[in-house]
Structure 1
Amino acid sequence: MIVVTGATGNIGRPLTRALAEAGQEVTAVSRRAAEVPDGVRHFTADLTQPASLVPALEGAKALFL
């Protein structure tokens, strides 16, 4: 599973979409609730509060920060 932080930004949004379309298991992380492609998990977290990232990182094989 690949975790993409900033998944609603200028780079993260198209990356999340491309990974999902390529059949990758993706977890999107953003500071606020957001729409994500079908099949993509979403977590709300704040990078200034590392503990908030723990659930999103469970099972991750890669991280795009």
Structure 2
Amino acid sequence: MRNQKLFRIALAVACFVFAGLKAYAIAQGDYTWIDVFFMIAFLGFGIMYLIVLNKTKKP
């Protein structure tokens, strides 16, 4: 893939959107343990992509 920065930004946004949707479901009270697991996983992947983006910044 040529432009990995744009792809990583899109993945980070998607991860945070899905984590937000899971957090909304948890806040509504209708959730299971798998919802909590996926929310934590999406948050972890989103933060990981942000860290990778910051490390690969070129001056």
Tell me the TM-score normalized by structure 1: 0.32
**Greater relative contact order (Cα < 8 A, sep 6+):** 2
Q: Which has the higher helix share?
A: 2
Taking structure 2 as the reference length, the TM-score comes to 0.35
When you count strand as a share of all residues, which structure comes out higher?
Answer: 1
